[in-house]
Amino acid sequence: MEFLSFIYKYGIWISVPVFLFSVILLVKCIIGVIRIEAESRLISVPLRDRQEINFSESGRVVLCMEGPILSRRFAALKYELTGPDGMAVKSRRAFLRTTTSGFKKATRELRVFDIAFPGRYTFEILGLKGENPSDPEHRMVFTRPHLARTMACIIGIVFTAGLTILSLVLFLMRLVGVK
């Protein structure tokens, strides 16, 4: 209880530096989420039934759909990736299908592929009706997995936003003289 009394007594002197520090951290966390999203993006291709894709390194990649918010263009589609050796690449449904959305477009994770070795792969979309090559709004995007790093930044955003609000409330309480 003595600790809380100390914080309240010196609230104006404590809240201002904590507020500034938490706003700086909040901005860094928000920029971090945006940077992680941009850095994880590997390849973006138009929505076509069959195309060649070149992966420069092996590892796990996530297939995402990208298009206008609430678009039904991707409904009931199946995706296949065939390696340079002619064998189908092992894949699974994304466990947590995260969605990143802006004001006009959204990106949603669909499948996770395990790329065994670098090379030229054939990507096929089964069930695509009415291929529209002049539709630049719908794309398929391959990314590196980034869920853990994104979640760490989101937890940082929540924590620093709470700290910002608490320091502002403490400052206003001391300024008004709430006892």
Percent of the chain that is helix, strand, coil (3-state, to 5): 40, 30, 30
Number of residues assigned to the chain? 179
Average pLDDT over residues 133-159: 87
Average pLDDT in the chain: 86
pLDDT per residue as tens digits for the range 1-32: 776 677 667 777 888 899 999 999 999 999 99
Structural domain total, the chain: 1
- Residue 131: its pLDDT value, please? 55
The C-alpha atoms of residue 151 and residue 33 are separated, in whole angstroms, by 9
Please spell the DSSP secondary structure of 3-48, one letter per residue: HHHHHHHTHHHHHHHHHHHHHHHHHHHHHHHHHHHHHHEEEEEE--
What global pTM score does this model have?
A: 0.76
Alpha-carbon distance 116 to 18, whole Å? 48
Statement: residue 135 has pLDDT above 80: no
**What is the DSSP secondary structure assignment for residue 62, as one 8-state letter?**
E
Residue 130 has pLDDT above 70, yes or no: no
Confidence of residue 161 (pLDDT cuts 50, 70, 90): very high
pLDDT one-digit tens code per residue, 55-105: 888 889 999 988 888 777 777 788 899 988 888 888 888 887 777 787 888
Q: How far apart are the first and last CA of the chain?
A: 15
What mean pLDDT comes out for the span 121-138?
75
- Residue 103 is part of which domain span? 2-176
- The pLDDT, as a whole number, for residue 166 is 92
